[in-house]
Amino acid sequence: MKNKLFGLIYMSSYKIQLNIVDLKKLTIIEKIDSPSFGQADSKSEVFENDMTKICQALDGFKEKLAEYRINNFKFYANQQLIDDLSASYIADQIRVRTGFQVKWLSESQIVYAKVLSGIKSFSKVKRGKLHTIPIYLLSLGSAMVNLSYFENQKFVSTWGLPLGPREIQEINEITNTTPNNPIDVIKDYIGARIDHLARQINPSPNAAIMIQHADSLSNRYLQQNDTVTRITANEFGRFYQDTINMPQAYMMQKYQLEPAVAEHTLPNLIAIRKFINLLEPAEVYITDMSVITGLLMQEAKRNLNKEIYSDNIVTTFAKNMADHYLVDRQHAEAVTKFALHIFDRLHCIHMLDEKDRQLLTLAAIVDDVGSFINQSSRYEQSAEILEANKLIGLSDKENEVVKEICRYQTIDEGPGKPDIGGHHYRNLDSHIQLKITKLSAILRIATALDASHKQKIKQIVVSLKKDNHLIIHAKTNADITLERWSFNKHIKLFEEVFGIKVSLKQEGMNR
């Protein structure tokens, strides 16, 4: 029994936690928290001032893992508040002092884990009441407030609102210099940010809202062993009025809050109230399932090879982005189909893995979003959009790969244009350069096969001859003069990176 257990260590910005878990049942057997970290005055101080506390906790976790005879464990940490350089320093100190290897999670990966845990929490509502109504998942955190939207318990979209140490510090600076009621100032500060999101959101009538990671609400309303509960709008209103003017020390004692969590409580409650007023939900739920639940769902899927959840959330997010920027969906679907067919047929040539296949899929969906801004530099614009709007569920490095695949779809050789081997490319991480080149080469060919955006080529057959000659057979009876011309312009990179000659051969559909 013990050998089948899994250990998950998660380090947030205010504590580090060990969970001993039965992955098969997705139940936590034992949970151990470190003492609360100090409240950082700036992002640069997150984790660094608490390194001794972190390492002491990890040494204790090591003993607990040994007690359970657990060799299968993971150590994740939230990187939302620190940069890559700080993350590498902290990871190295932890490795040297404890032997633990930490895996940093990007903002996109944190949001993805929250979305997964939201789906899990929906299933805990009795009698399946949430199966048929739209649901908003309001996720609170140390760096961001995220609002995700679901229909039929399937992910549709997500929006983010920064509310981390910088914003809290700004709120403190403003409220410390005004004689006015600080609560009114916080309302204005947060309201200005939510108003921007409100213009992007079409509230769904009769929807439910699930509030996630609101420790004060969870500690007040969740009963022991419960993970989800429903409260009325009046109950939330009374809780809000009781808490909003409460001294922080008393709030920490009453709701058993960590200092860093208590600091966020008032801004978070104001944000919750404003979202409830905006969305006018028919039902309000509270859950204590959050990032850790989502991480455990991913580990269960990997370890048990079991379909615990659908893995189309990332693709849905990419398609929604493409729709937002008015990408030709039929063209994107055709390009994706061709790109994946080429990828699958040439595995022995490119030697890339399943994750790379996913990155190619995502790039094929979003590579043309930049056309919304500027047709003449659409691929560079696509890269800029993807830099500012990272795909959820991917690490920062994986998002970079998708972004650069899109950038290098351009074949223009004018001054300042992206060039494989050029200055920008040479400054990319050497570990991803070749991957970007290979995937860019495949996507260039796939894009050329629908150059007219009319889906003239219904099917392709890829055959690699013994003389290192790759022939792509295009099944169509249509005139593909434009596709052939575009194909011949786009094959250069493919031939250079893979060292094989490529040609296009048209075959009628009656063959």
pLDDT, one tens digit per residue, over 379-401 is 999 999 999 999 999 999 999 99
pLDDT band at 307 (very low <50, low <70, confident <90, very high): low
Residues 6+ apart with CB under 8 A from 4: 22, 23, 24
Mean confidence (pLDDT) of the chain? 90
- Residue 133 is classified by DSSP as S
For 269: left if phi > 0, alpha if psi spans -120 to 50, otherwise beta; the answer is alpha
131-166 pLDDT tens trace: 788 999 999 988 889 999 998 888 999 998 887 766
pLDDT band at 403 (very low <50, low <70, confident <90, very high): very high
* Three-state secondary-structure class, residue 96: helix
- Report CA-CA distances (Å) from 177 to 172, 185, 201, 509: 9, 11, 34, 75
Q: How do strand 459-464 and strand 469-475 relate by DSSP bridges?
A: antiparallel
| Inter-residue contact 94 to 87 (CB < 8 Å) | no
d(CA 72, CA 171): 43
Q: Is the pLDDT of residue 336 over 50?
A: yes
Residues 6+ apart with CB under 8 A from 39: 14, 259, 260, 263
458-505 pLDDT tens trace: 999 999 988 889 999 999 999 999 999 999 999 999 999 999 999 999
pLDDT band at 414 (very low <50, low <70, confident <90, very high): low
Q: Is the pLDDT of residue 209 over 70?
A: yes
272-286 pLDDT tens trace: 999 999 999 999 999
Higher-pLDDT residue of 41 and 175 is 175
Q: What is the pLDDT of residue 413?
A: 66
pLDDT band at 2 (very low <50, low <70, confident <90, very high): very low
| Inter-residue contact 151 to 134 (CB < 8 Å) | yes
Q: What is the pTM of this model?
A: 0.90
d(CA 317, CA 232): 31
Q: What is the pLDDT of residue 318?
A: 96
d(CA 59, CA 261): 25
Q: What is the pLDDT of residue 303?
A: 84
d(CA 308, CA 468): 42
Alpha-carbon Rg for the chain, nearest whole angstrom, is: 25
d(CA 96, CA 90): 10
Residues above pLDDT 70, as percent of the chain: 94
Q: Residues 81-108: what's their mean pLDDT?
A: 94
pLDDT band at 1 (very low <50, low <70, confident <90, very high): very low
Residues above pLDDT 90, as percent of the chain: 66
- Report CA-CA distances (Å) from 431 to 134, 271, 443: 42, 41, 20
Higher-pLDDT residue of 228 and 152 is 228
CA 15 to chain CA centroid, Å, is 22
* Three-state secondary-structure class, residue 310: coil
424-457 pLDDT tens trace: 888 999 999 999 999 999 999 999 999 999 999 9
- Residue 101 is classified by DSSP as P
Q: What is the pLDDT of residue 40?
A: 59
Report residue 201 as tokens.
């959101």
Residues 6+ apart with CB under 8 A from 275: 136, 138, 147, 194, 209
